[in-house]
Structure 1
Amino acid sequence: MTAHHVEAARDSSKSGILLLTRTSSPPRLPIALPTLSRRKSPSQDGNGPDRFSAAAMSLVPDLWPPISDSELQRSKAETLKRELVWITDETIKACRELKHGLDDCYALLAPIDPGSTLVMSTPRNEKVKGTMTRVGSRLVKGSLNLQLRTTPAFTIYVAPASPIHVHALDDLHTHLSQSIDLLSLTLARDPPHDPPSVASTLALISDSLAESMTLLKGPPLNRPDASWQTSSCPPHHFSPPLPANFSFHIGLQESCIVLVLRTLEPVNAPVHLGTKLGLAIGTVRRIEHDEMDLVFRYHPSGDGTAEPKRGGSRRGLDSAESAASNGAQDVYVREKVRVESADPSLISLQSKLGYLNNMLCQTRRNLATVMAVADVDS
């Protein structure tokens, strides 16, 4: 027999409620005990025996031994405080896992030789045929044999001394670096951790991951992308330099490196008489594409996105300066060729970022829920 025990007896002559008789001092912690409430059955006419209906019985929680309201509120506050400390510790554990995953993502984008060799060739024809090598966020090598209908066949090479920086990959590298730095600062703090501070840090990282996934996904295909007008690669990135009427634009689409080549024609360029006659009688046909007969404002020198970064605001300044000083001209697009090459490292990077983003969203929801219950401002 223990020090605390309870004897139970059932009063069979009345309501059948469980009666408790305390034979010793009560336990320290209050115990919630179910009690039965009695209601008459709907079928009972008032004259028959007093019977219970199975559906009319309910469980009502009660505390034993009874405690005062002030003590109950104090116990609730202490419980919420312990819950907040626990969820904050669990969030810090998730941050360690998140940092480990972001380190793996950073390694996939790190400038490590020999890099990724990408096949850049058009399917079912040989308009474009060649390869390019990506190391980190740069295209360091490449040779493309072009056989377009509007220009003589020629081969272009990426100049080794002037690699091409992919603007989207540069921004992606920046977002990953900032997220890892924020996590390192958070994990370096001594416990206990401040829940609002942790929540603010996770919000910044969540925005950074969302932007990173948007960069890998690329612009929507159902809307025209006008970035080529200002961010095409300048001629000095190639050996020999590109012709003046040629646009070489690099971008990202669903974790693929996308190359778009355009041959251009100034709007005010004179049209040869033979071309006019050929167009009139049908012997000469224009190449049909989604940008034909549209006038574009083209900046041959670019906006600096293909160059190495020299400061946080460089691109914005270059974009504004280039609009006025780089010899922009109105042009038609005579021919357009689009080539894309899947990059295994970028595909793996997108998959990892998707998983980490889902984990981060769940962690933020858990922390926000407990903070809201505990009435802690985020």
Structure 2
Amino acid sequence: MSTLVWPPIAPAQLIREEEATLARELEWLLASLQETLQSLKSGLEECAELLAPKEPGSTLVLSSLRSENLKGFITRVGARIVKGDVQLRLPSLPPPKGQTSYKLSVSILPTAPTLVLEQLTTARTLINACLDVVDATRWTGDSKNANFISGQIRLLHDNIQEAKSALKGWTEGQKAWYEAPVDANAFNPPLPANVSFHLSVSEAAVLLNVRTLEAAYPNTGTNTPLSFTAGASTPSYSGLSLRERLATALGGGRPAFHDEAHEVFIYKGQEVRVRDKVRVESQDPSLMAAMAKLGALERNVALSRRALDIVMGKDSEEG
């Protein structure tokens, strides 16, 4: 099929006609984006509602796979952990006399520090920022100014991506477990000095890592871990305690190693090694729904952004 214009028109007039067509197309697209923004606002409000602090919260079961190392639960209200009990059975954390496990209980005292999932705080802040961007774009800006709308759509896209990344886990600004230890008084009784309790979000699930720690002294000549316990003056150059070496000599197995067994960390100003580590992941339906919605919103905004860039004659990679 021929694409020639008949009767032929002058090149200058053809350029004017093309520009007029693009202008009409841009005007139509800018008008349709107002409806898109309203739809995006509804989706963002649903995400904000899923992350809002609503009683009674979400109670999540915690259980280590194929072992009795960790059992318990936590209750999340928004970004805060308001209740929780964890039973630990770790070789390096002997239970109190008469007990079969070591219990960690989140304090419910009004004066106790709060356990907070910072990633959820970040995600909710970014979602609220997205809602502000939508309102500013629809009500306070020039809806016919393509450059203004393009900048707002780009900002919206970036914020949604960051909010989704916060729920996905391990973003650039997220602190490692040894950089952000929890306050011992968030537990009742207080968390032992040689125990690290670290909560985070990974793939829209709540991830708990409990570690038992021991000091590492490079001046022993072997960088061998020593005990946190006062009075333990004799280093174990094999990396095992006397009891563990005796057990090994009598035919028992060596302690199971984990991915951090040979690393040294700075924790609360001390060089430490991780003696035992248990990792438990608990799926959170509200977080999963929020991340799925953010993914859908991200795709919709990306399509709108690309369509606007094409009509404006911009490269989608331009800032």
Structure label with greater radius of gyration: 1
Q: Tell me, what secondary structure is at the counterpart of 1:106?
A: helix
Alignment of 1:108 with 2:56, yes or no, is no
Q: Tell me, what secondary structure is at the counterpart of 1:126?
A: coil
Corresponding position of 1:366:
307
Alignment of 1:337 with 2:305, yes or no, is no
- Corresponding letter in the other structure for 1:83: E
Corresponding position of 2:180:
231
What is the alpha-carbon distance in structure 2 between the residues aligned to residue 274 and residue 216 of structure 1? 44
Corresponding position of 2:72:
130
What is the alpha-carbon distance in structure 2 between the residues aligned to residue 202 and residue 192 of structure 1? 12
- Tell whether the 8 Å contact from 1:295 to 1:330 is kept in structure 2 after alignment: yes
Structure-to-structure mapping, 1:178-189, within 5 angstroms: 178-189=129-140
CA deviation string 1:206-261 (max 9, x = no partner): 111112222222239xxxx9801112312011111001001000111111100000
What is the alpha-carbon distance in structure 1 between the residues aligned to residue 143 and residue 52 of structure 2? 34
What is the alpha-carbon distance in structure 1 between the residues aligned to residue 114 and residue 287 of structure 2? 19
Instruction: Classify 1:332/1:62 alpha carbon distance in 2 versus 1 (closer, same or farther; 3 Å).
Output: closer
- Tell whether the 8 Å contact from 2:68 to 2:89 is kept in structure 1 after alignment: yes
- Deviation larger for 148-157 or 338-347: 148-157
What is the alpha-carbon distance in structure 2 between the residues aligned to residue 226 and residue 163 of structure 1? 17
Corresponding position of 1:95:
37
Corresponding position of 2:222:
none
CA deviation string 1:359-378 (max 9, x = no partner): 111111111100008xxx98
Q: Which has the higher contact order (CA 8 A, sep 6+)?
A: 2
Percent identity between matched residues is 35
TM-score when normalising by structure 2: 0.82
Q: Tell me, what secondary structure is at the counterpart of 2:266?
A: strand
Alignment of 1:63 with 2:23, yes or no, is no
Structure-to-structure mapping, 1:229-308, within 5 angstroms: 229-268=178-217, 269=226, 270=233, 271=235, 274-275=242-243, 277-278=245-246, 281=249, 283=252, 285-299=254-268
Unmatched tracts of structure 1, length 5 or more? 1-57, 300-327
Instruction: Classify 1:59/1:129 alpha carbon distance in 2 versus 1 (closer, same or farther; 3 Å).
Output: closer
Alignment of 1:157 with 2:105, yes or no, is yes
Structure-to-structure mapping, 1:210-225, within 5 angstroms: 210-219=161-170
- Deviation larger for 190-199 or 170-179: 190-199
Instruction: Classify 1:248/1:103 alpha carbon distance in 2 versus 1 (closer, same or farther; 3 Å).
Output: same
- Tell whether the 8 Å contact from 1:232 to 1:250 is kept in structure 2 after alignment: no
- Tell whether the 8 Å contact from 1:119 to 1:130 is kept in structure 2 after alignment: yes
What is the alpha-carbon distance in structure 2 between the residues aligned to residue 294 and residue 61 of structure 1? 72
- Tell whether the 8 Å contact from 1:140 to 1:158 is kept in structure 2 after alignment: yes
CA offset at residue 283 of structure 1? 4.8
Instruction: Classify 1:207/1:62 alpha carbon distance in 2 versus 1 (closer, same or farther; 3 Å).
Output: closer
Instruction: Classify 1:337/1:280 alpha carbon distance in 2 versus 1 (closer, same or farther; 3 Å).
Output: closer
Corresponding position of 1:323:
none
What is the alpha-carbon distance in structure 1 between the residues aligned to residue 93 and residue 10 of structure 2? 91
Structure-to-structure mapping, 1:13-52, within 5 angstroms: none
CA offset at residue 60 of structure 1? 6.0
Corresponding position of 1:24:
none
Instruction: Classify 1:274/1:193 alpha carbon distance in 2 versus 1 (closer, same or farther; 3 Å).
Output: same
Match of 1:175 among 126, 143, 153: 126
What is the alpha-carbon distance in structure 1 between the residues aligned to residue 209 and residue 169 of structure 2? 14
CA deviation string 1:144-181 (max 9, x = no partner): 12222211232111122332110111111111111111
CA offset at residue 124 of structure 1? 2.8
Corresponding position of 1:51:
none
CA-atom RMSD in angstroms: 2.4
- Tell whether the 8 Å contact from 2:142 to 2:148 is kept in structure 1 after alignment: no
- Corresponding letter in the other structure for 2:157: S
TM-score when normalising by structure 1: 0.70
Instruction: Classify 1:149/1:79 alpha carbon distance in 2 versus 1 (closer, same or farther; 3 Å).
Output: same
Q: Tell me, what secondary structure is at the counterpart of 2:5?
A: strand
Unmatched tracts of structure 2, length 5 or more? 96-101, 218-225, 227-232
What is the alpha-carbon distance in structure 1 between the residues aligned to residue 86 and residue 49 of structure 2? 28
- Tell whether the 8 Å contact from 2:164 to 2:295 is kept in structure 1 after alignment: yes
CA deviation string 1:68-92 (max 9, x = no partner): 4444433332222111111111122
- Tell whether the 8 Å contact from 2:248 to 2:254 is kept in structure 1 after alignment: no
What is the alpha-carbon distance in structure 2 between the residues aligned to residue 191 and residue 207 of structure 1? 21
